[in-house]
Structure 1
Amino acid sequence: MKKVALLVAAALMAPSAAFAHQAGDILIRGGAVTVSPNSSGDNVLGTGNLDPNTNTQLGLTFSYMVTDNWGVELLAATPFSHSVSTQGLGEVAKIKHLPPSLMAQYYFGNAQSKVRPYVGLGVNYTVFFDEEARGALAAAGSPVDLDDSWGVAAQAGLDMKVTDNLFVNGSVWYMDIDTDVKTDLGTFKTEIDPIGLMVGLGYRF
């Protein structure tokens, strides 16, 4: 029994097989991304600011580990589609956007850690397209056009080992998205500033 106990203790103290997230690794993550805008901005004809609704799409991230603790990541996704409304007018537009973001990341722990929390900071570029007037704007015959946006992006996330190459991931994002919404009734500055939540799986190459 004493020998068995010593063997178990030795196994528990031995370094675990590398989870990786080490220099040279490529990490691909995929899952559902829910974008929830925190909108503010100009009052639209006394009816409130423009407010896009929440939308969920497929998200993909591609990371390269520069060192065991530092990485770079690109966020991509299928186009997000939002109904835009004001409190007084209801739905006034339908829009789509893509928010690719490039991040510098720091991973806590080391290559032997089975759980790797990380944080990131970078830049977001949001392109708007397929803008369509609805409700009162459509009735007034007004087009809708949104300027593309550059802004800061930040994230925090967690990877947890399933196998040597497969892991589960959860992350939260913040994006600074400001745009001018142009209509025949005027131009309205709008800050969308969404929080994004992604849950999915990752694979290490």
Structure 2
Amino acid sequence: MKLMPLSLAVAATLLVTSASAQQYTFKVGAAYINPNATSSDITGRMAIKPPGFPSAVNKDVDANIQLEVQPQTAFIFSIARSFGDNWEGELFLGFPPEHDVKMRMNNERVKTLASLDPTAIPAPYAAAGVTAGTVVGAKHIASYDGKVVAKLKQFAPTAFINYKFGTPQSTWRPYVGVGVNFTHVKPEPTRDGETFYNDGKVRTKVSDSWGLALQVGMSYHLDDTWLISAGYATAQVRNKIRINTDNADSVHRASYKFNPSIWMLTVGRKF
């Protein structure tokens, strides 16, 4: 892990060091980011108080409940500096996109319990220990399947070392790059996220991530100054999540391990 910050520093240094055929290229454009991110099962204890129910329902989190980050578009820009005819260092930045986070509930038992009437529980279920509180809790949980329970902003600067095929005079220049990504996530619960617990302020912490990044693309040089680029990038991103409320029993944990798909279209100018 200590090598990751060093790699980012080395890649950034390449943007400002002296070399032959030095040239800056500034790109600006848009990216479509598909996080491909569904968390592991949420684990821990939960204390929810469904609206209208007299007391909180304290229980372990049911299996097969995850958080799914939704795709988003973002404004991006990069600064690159060549060192030689075919190599360059590039640093990608942008305005942090805001992703919706949906709850996904794939537990058939919860769905079955949610279909019951809490005032008339069938004998087989009652014999198995199913109570009115169990049914009300299941109805409450099932009703949040597919709802946006949080918003998250991600700040993800990424440094690449790129190899550009062809010559500086080529009109079309394919390129490939390898680098390092840093991802910082700032989550905020939505109104649905707060009312899901109905237990005071929801606090969410997400760990930072360092990981390998790759990109591939093509640049079309309109002239000696302007170019248009289309590319695809991905990175290794791993985050740990901790969710808690004012109730000490409501502590949830999960993790993400995903490789986002990032499609980019930019316009660039060489200096």
What are the superposed Cα offsets for residues 173-201 of structure 1, whole Å, 9 maximum, x if unpaired?
A: 10111101110231101124211111121
Q: Residue 120 of structure 2 aligns with which residue?
A: none
Mean CA deviation greater in 190-199 or 93-102? 190-199
SS in 1 for 2:194: helix
Residue 93 in structure 1 maps to residue 183 in structure 2? no
Aligned equivalents of 2:212, 2:259: Cα separation in 1: 10
SS in 1 for 2:181: strand
Q: Residue 173 of structure 2 aligns with which residue?
A: 116
SS in 2 for 1:200: strand
- For residue 28 of structure 1, what is the amino acid of its counterpart? F
SS in 1 for 2:203: coil
SS in 2 for 1:144: strand
- CA positional deviation for 1:47: 4.2
- For residue 195 of structure 1, what is the amino acid of its counterpart? S
Aligned residue among 184, 196, 213 for 1:127: 184
Q: Residue 18 of structure 1 aligns with which residue?
A: none
Aligned residue among 133, 158, 166 for 2:218: 158
For structure 2, the 5+ residue unaligned runs are 1-19, 43-61, 106-144, 245-250
- For residue 36 of structure 2, what is the amino acid of its counterpart? N
The percent identity for this pair of structures is 26
Structure 1 segment 39-50 matched on structure 2, within 5 A = 39-44=37-42, 45-50=62-67
Kept in 1, the 8 Å contact 2:148–2:193? The answer is no
- For residue 262 of structure 2, what is the amino acid of its counterpart? G
For structure 1, the 5+ residue unaligned runs are 1-21
- CA positional deviation for 1:134: 2.8
SS in 1 for 2:91: strand
What are the superposed Cα offsets for residues 7-49 of structure 1, whole Å, 9 maximum, x if unpaired?
A: xxxxxxxxxxxxxxx8201111110111111114411243443
Aligned residue among 78, 87, 94 for 1:61: 78
TM-score (norm 2): 0.64
Kept in 2, the 8 Å contact 1:49–1:190? The answer is no
Kept in 1, the 8 Å contact 2:39–2:68? The answer is no
TM-score (norm 1): 0.84
- For residue 38 of structure 1, what is the amino acid of its counterpart? N
RMSD of equivalent CA atoms: 1.6
Mean CA deviation greater in 109-118 or 39-48? 39-48
Q: Residue 36 of structure 2 aligns with which residue?
A: 38
Kept in 1, the 8 Å contact 2:38–2:69? The answer is no
Aligned equivalents of 1:135, 1:166: Cα separation in 2: 46
Kept in 2, the 8 Å contact 1:47–1:86? The answer is no
Aligned equivalents of 1:150, 1:197: Cα separation in 2: 20
Residue 74 in structure 1 maps to residue 84 in structure 2? no
What are the superposed Cα offsets for residues 75-111 of structure 1, whole Å, 9 maximum, x if unpaired?
A: 0011110111122232221110111001111011112
- Structure showing greater radius of gyration is 2
Kept in 1, the 8 Å contact 2:240–2:255? The answer is yes
Mean CA deviation greater in 107-116 or 132-141? 132-141
Kept in 2, the 8 Å contact 1:93–1:144? The answer is no
Aligned equivalents of 1:181, 1:84: Cα separation in 2: 13
Kept in 1, the 8 Å contact 2:216–2:233? The answer is yes
Residue 203 in structure 1 maps to residue 269 in structure 2? yes
